[in-house]
Amino acid sequence: MTFYLRCFLTLSFVWIVLSIISAFILSPFIISSVWIGLLFYFCTSFIFSLLYHLSFILFVLFVILLDFANISFIHSLVVTSMRNCSLFVVLFTDYLVSCIIP
């Protein structure tokens, strides 16, 4: 498993755990109605999803900046091709997760 995929899975796991906590622990204490509690869950889930995607985009931009920071041309080509391949896998997985879990 690549480093990027592990980071992606860790972020998605944290997002899912925070969504579950917000749904089953926070909403009964804050709101008593079931329908408003579900609305609260989806709002917090959307916020966590937005934060997750923003952090993922920043992570991808950071990796791209690391590619430009390499000095050796051959080393840069090898590392860039490896990173682009793994980034494609992570971006595709992120797209699938965003389709399955809005």
For residue range 14-54, what is the model confidence (pLDDT) as tens digits? 666 666 555 555 555 444 445 555 555 566 566 666 666 66
Q: Where are the domains of the chain?
A: 3-100
User: Would the pTM count as exceeding 0.95?
Assistant: no
Query: Is there a contact between 90 and 5 (Cβ–Cβ < 8 Å)?
Result: yes
For residue range 55-74, what is the model confidence (pLDDT) as tens digits? 666 666 665 555 555 544 44
SS3 of the chain: helix, strand, coil, percent, to 5: 90, 0, 10
Residue 26, pLDDT score: 52
